[in-house]
Amino acid sequence: MEKEKFYITTPIFYPSNKLTLGNCYTTIICDTIARFNKMLGKDVFYLTGTDEHGQKIAKVAQDKGMEIKKYLDENILDTKELWKMLHIDYDYFIRTTDEQHEKAIQKIFTELYNRGYIYKGKYSGHYCTPCESFWTEAQLVDGKCPDCGRDVVYQEEEAYFFKLSEFGDKLLKLYEDNPNFLQPTSRVNEMVNNFIKPGLQDLCVSRTTVSWGVPVEFDPKHTIYVWIDALFNYVTALGYGSNNDELFKKYWPADLHLVGKEIVRFHAIIWPALLMALDLPLPKQIFGHGWLLFGGQKLSKSKTAGTTEVIDPRILIPRYGADSVRYILLREIPFGSDGTYSTENYLKHINTDLCNDFGNLVNRTFAMLKKYFNGVVPTPNKQEETQQDVDFINTVENAKTNAINYMKTYDVSKSLTEIFTIFNKANKYIENSTPWELAKSNQEELKNVLYNLLEAIKIGTVLLASFLTEQPSKVLNAYGIEKPSIEDIEKFGSLKSGTVIKEIGVLYPRLDIEKELKELSNL
Ligand code: MSP
C-alpha cells in the first residue's frame, strides 16, 4: 500500500546573524512533527533552508567587508552545523541563491506577468529593511515599522506590482471554508481585521535600487522582491519550475508551513494569493507559532550582557546535550502562544524532568529487572493482576492516545506533557506497588509490576524519541528497537516476555545548578 505523504516546512532563515534559540524553536518543532509522522509510518518530506537575497543580507556582508556570496557560504555552513548539533533531520536544504531556484523564480515571475497579475507602476511609500516589508504612511506606528518598531525609509521608484487587491474576497472565503487553513484561529481574526477588511493594496514586487536579488527575466534592471523569491522556495525545492518536478507532483500541497507569528501575513495572505494566481493547490495549513521570550523580548542576541542568560545553543548543546535544548523549547512554549525562557528554569528542568522523571525511572526499573529476573522480561500473570495494575495500564493507554491525538493538531507541548504523564505515573506505580516488598512476598505480582513498568517505559520512549534524539534511542536499543514505530506501541502488552534488557548508564547527569549558573556567567 502506498504510504500517506506528509510535507512540512520551516521558514527559510535570513543568514544575517548567527541563529539563536529563538530560530531553533521553529526548526525543532518541525523536526519533531516530521519524526513523529515518520514514526506513524508516513512518507515525510521535511524542508528547511536560507533566504539569501535582499537589501538586509547585502548590507550585513558589506558591513563585514566581505563579498556577499563568501559571507553567505560561511554563514550557511554555521547554520548547517547547528542543525547537525540539534539532530535536525531535514530532507532538503534550499538556498535561494541555488541556480535551480533562481531560474524557477524568474519563470514564475514571468508567468504571473503573462497571466496579467503583475503590472508596471510607480512605488512610493516606506520600506523597513530588517523586515524587508513595504508600508503605507497610514500603517506606520509613530512613523516607525509597525512590526519591529525600527526606522523606515521613504522610497519612490518604478516597480512591478502584484494585483493583491483582487484577492480579498477569495482569501475571506478560503478562511471561512477551511477553518484549518490558518491556525491558531486568533491569527485569522488578525489577518481579517488588520489587513483584509481595511482593503488589500497591490504589492510592490520588484526593486530597481536593490541589486542583490533575482533579476526580472524581461526587464533585468528590476530585481524580484525578496519575499516573492522566498515564498516560492516551498515549491522550487520540490523542482517546480525546473525540468524535474517529480517531487513537486509527489508532495505538493504542503501539509504544514510552520512559521513565527510575525510572518503569518506573508504566508496567509500573499502566499495563497500568488498560488491562486498560478492555479496551484494551496497548502493545507499555516500554523503561526508564538515567540520564545527573554525578559519579555523576542530573543535576538547570543548572550545578554550582565546576566546569566545564555541563549546561544552552541554554548548549551556541548555542555548539556541536544536533548535538553530540544526539551526546553518544546516544553516551554505552549503551542501558538509565547513562552518565556530563563537559563535557571532550563537547568532545573534538566534535573527534575529529564534526570529524575525519565532517566531515574529507566535506571531503577532496569536495575530491578536485573536484580529480580536476571535482566529477562518476565511473563505477566493476568490472574494475579490487581486493580492498581489495571488502573496503571489504562492511564498509560490514555496518555498514549492523547499524546498521539495532540500531534494531529501539532500541539507539541501538550503531547510532550502526556508522554511525561506516563513516566510520572510509572514512578508513582513503583512507590505504591513497592516491588522490593513484593520480591519477598509475591513473585507473581512482582512479575506484573515489572512487566507493566517496562512496557510503559517502552511506550513512553517510542513517543519521546521524536522529541528528544539522544537518550531515548539508547533506551530503545536496550529493548532491541532500532527505529521506533507505531507498531511497537499499538497495544499495551506487545513487549515480548523473555526479551533480555541490559542496564544502561546514567541518561542525564544531575546538575549542581548554582555551580552551572556561575560558570555560565563567567563564559
Ligand atoms: N526569511 C524569513 C522567512 C521567509 S519564509 C518564506 C524570516 N527569517 S528569520 O530568520 O527572520 O526567521 C525565521 C524563523 O525564526 C521565523 O519563523 C521566526 O518567527 C523564528 N524566530 C526568530 N526568533 C524567534 C523567537 N524568539 N521565538 C520563536 N521564533 C522566532 O522571517
Q: Which residues contact 389 (CB under 8 A, 6 or more apart)?
A: 433, 448, 449, 452
Does residue 124 belong to any structural domain of this protein? no
Place of cell 483582487: 166
Phi, psi of 269 (to 5 degrees): -115, -60
Query: Quick one: cell of 47?
Result: 524542508
The full length of the chain comes to 523
Does residue 336 belong to any structural domain of this protein? yes
Q: What is the pLDDT of residue 18?
A: 77
For 144-171, letters b (16+ CB in 10 Å) and e give ebebeeeebeeeeeebbbbbbeebbeeb
Q: What is the pLDDT of residue 296?
A: 61
Domain containing 462 equals 313-489
On whether the CB atoms of residues 332 and 339 are closer than 8 A, the answer is yes
Instruction: Give the end-to-end CA distance of the chain in Å, rounded to a whole number.
Output: 54
Q: 28: CA distance to ligand 1 center in Å?
A: 13
Q: 445: CA distance to ligand 1 center in Å?
A: 53
Give 119's strand partners: 161
Q: What is the pLDDT of residue 304?
A: 44
- Ligand 1, residues at Cβ distance < 6 Å: 11-14, 22-23, 25-26, 51, 230-231, 233, 259-260, 262-263, 291-292, 298-299
Query: Quick one: cell of 464?
Result: 519521546
Q: 517: CA distance to ligand 1 center in Å?
A: 28
Q: 144: CA distance to ligand 1 center in Å?
A: 20
Query: Quick one: cell of 11?
Result: 521558514
Does residue 219 belong to any structural domain of this protein? no
Q: What is the pLDDT of residue 305?
A: 41
Q: 329: CA distance to ligand 1 center in Å?
A: 15
- Going by alpha carbons, the residue nearest to atom 9 of ligand 1 is 13
Identify which of 313, 316, 292, 293 has the alpha carbon closest to the alpha carbon of residue 520: 316
pLDDT tens string 412-436: 999 999 999 999 999 999 999 999 9
- Going by alpha carbons, the residue nearest to atom 23 of ligand 1 is 22
Query: Quick one: cell of 178?
Result: 477551511
The DSSP output letter for 211 is -
The closest-lying atom of ligand 1 relative to the alpha carbon of residue 290 is 28
Does residue 481 belong to any structural domain of this protein? yes
On whether the CB atoms of residues 267 and 286 are closer than 8 A, the answer is yes
Tens-digit pLDDT string for the chain (523 aa): 889 999 999 999 999 877 888 889 999 999 999 999 999 999 999 999 999 999 889 999 999 999 999 999 999 999 999 999 999 999 999 999 999 999 999 999 999 999 999 999 998 889 898 888 888 888 899 999 988 888 999 988 899 999 999 999 999 999 999 999 999 999 999 999 999 999 999 999 999 988 999 999 999 999 999 999 999 999 999 999 999 999 999 999 999 999 999 999 999 999 999 999 999 999 999 999 999 887 666 655 444 444 456 778 999 999 999 999 999 999 988 888 898 888 999 999 999 999 999 999 999 999 999 999 999 999 999 998 999 999 999 999 999 999 999 999 999 999 999 999 999 999 999 999 999 999 999 999 999 999 999 999 999 999 999 999 999 999 999 999 999 999 999 999 999 999 999 999 999 999 999 999 999 888 7
Does residue 441 belong to any structural domain of this protein? yes
Does residue 195 belong to any structural domain of this protein? no
Place of cell 500554523: 287
- The angle formed by the CA atoms of residues 265, 266 and 268, to the nearest 5 degrees, is 60
Distances (CA, A) of 88 to 30, 226, 323, 399: 9, 26, 12, 26
Distance in angstroms (rounded) separating the CA atoms of residues 249 and 235: 10
The DSSP bridge pattern shows strands 292-294 and 297-298 to be: antiparallel
Identify which of 227, 231, 220 has the alpha carbon closest to the alpha carbon of residue 204: 227
- Going by alpha carbons, the residue nearest to atom 13 of ligand 1 is 13
Identify which of 459, 463, 460, 437 has the alpha carbon closest to the alpha carbon of residue 449: 437
What residue spans of 156-269 are helical by DSSP H?
A: 168-177, 186-191, 226-231, 233-236, 246-251, 264-265
* Residue to substitute in 263, 265, 337 for testing ligand 1 pocket (most ligand atoms within 8 angstroms of CB): 263
Does residue 305 belong to any structural domain of this protein? no
Strands (E), 87-147: 92-95, 118-128, 133-135
The DSSP output letter for 303 is B
Q: Which three-class secondary structure string do you get for 155-176?
A: EEEEEEEECHHHHHHHHHHHHH
Q: 10: CA distance to ligand 1 center in Å?
A: 9
Burial class (CB in 10 A: 0-12, 13-18, 19+), 140: middle
Structural domain count of the chain: 1
Does residue 387 belong to any structural domain of this protein? yes
* Residue to substitute in 9, 10, 25 for testing ligand 1 pocket (most ligand atoms within 8 angstroms of CB): 25
Q: Is 194 helix (H, G, I), strand (E, B) or coil?
A: helix
Q: 260: CA distance to ligand 1 center in Å?
A: 6
Integer-rounded Cα Rg, in Å, for the chain is 26
* Residue to substitute in 8, 13, 271 for testing ligand 1 pocket (most ligand atoms within 8 angstroms of CB): 13
Q: What is the pLDDT of residue 302?
A: 41
Q: Which three-class secondary structure string do you get for 7-44?
A: EEECCCECCCCCCCHHHHHHHHHHHHHHHHHHHCCCEE
The DSSP bridge pattern shows strands 118-128 and 92-95 to be: unpaired
For the question of whether the overall pTM of this predicted structure is more than 0.75, the answer is yes
How many helices (H) does the chain have, and how many strands (E)?
Answer: 21, 15
Give the count of alpha carbons within 13 A of 398, CB side only: 8
Identify which of 478, 484, 357 has the alpha carbon closest to the alpha carbon of residue 424: 357
Specify the CATH number for the domain of residue 428: 1.10.730.10
